[in-house]
Amino acid sequence: MKKTLALILVFLAGDYVYPQTAADIQTKYGKAIDVYSVSEHIWMTPEYTSDRQVCRMRLYPKRIGGNTNYGTHDLPFPELRDVLNGLVPVETRGAKKESFGTTATGGGAAWTTYDYENVSFDFVSFFPARSFEGVILKRGEYVFSAPESKPLPTNSNPSNNDFVESFSTRTEIVTITWNGRKCIGQ
């Protein structure tokens, strides 16, 4: 009798504890997104146009990779610069725009924008003096305009060293946006 009861309990428990399949997870949480390991410390998530061209990429620090747990929130600048130059080669960017390298602050964060004819790079840094745990920044939430009197950069040609390390040392997120490409869902 005890063996029969134990078998019934095991059988009933099996109905409640089952392995999840990819379909189960997708049904519950939605379609998976593409995430790429672009360097030792950096993940990249692309978005696409309707014809599958990349329209936007987000770079952010790895917290977990392989058998390693990383403790940093920042993107290491030399590694970040190399990744950016690899993802968007200098010759594809076009000339620097008037607002090149401007920084705006608000909501406990700073945005430094490097605008080119064909692409824009937005570096987001959070101020370390306060805790921003739980802060959610939404695209379009902050809109900044460049001062109208700002002169054009003295050299509008792009280079591999266009990004300024002193402004980018605490960068946590970089968004690359291709001008003129509309992402799906926009």
Mean pLDDT of 35-61: 95
- Residue 119 pLDDT greater than 90, yes or no: yes
pLDDT tens digit sequence for 87-104: 999 999 999 998 888 888
Predicted local confidence at residue 50, as pLDDT = 95
Please give the mean pLDDT across all residues of the chain: 79
Question: What is the greatest pairwise CA distance in the chain?
Answer: 89
Q: How far apart are CA 44 and CA 146, in angstroms?
A: 28
DSSP 135-183: --PPTTSS-----TTPPPPS--S--TT-S-HHHHTTEEEEEEEETT-PP
Predicted local confidence at residue 147, as pLDDT = 45
- Bridge partner residues of 109 (DSSP): 106, 126
- Residue 53 pLDDT greater than 90, yes or no: yes
- Other Cβ atoms closer than 10 A to 2: 6
Structure tokens at 164: 């300024």
Mean pLDDT of 22-46: 91
- With b for 16 or more beta-carbon neighbours within 10 A and e for fewer, the 123-148 pattern comes to bbbbeeeeeeeeeeeeeeeeeeeeee
- Bridge partner residues of 44 (DSSP): 36, 59
Residue 178: closest CA among 51, 49, 81: 49
Predicted local confidence at residue 42, as pLDDT = 93
Angle at 176 between CA 32 and CA 101, to 5 degrees: 155
Instruction: Look at 58 and 134; give whichever has higher pLDDT.
Output: 58
- Other Cβ atoms closer than 10 A to 176: 20
- With b for 16 or more beta-carbon neighbours within 10 A and e for fewer, the 103-117 pattern comes to eeeeeebbbbbbbbe
Q: How far apart are CA 115 and CA 167, in angstroms?
A: 15
Instruction: Look at 154 and 84; give whichever has higher pLDDT.
Output: 84
Q: How far apart are CA 153 and CA 91, in angstroms?
A: 18
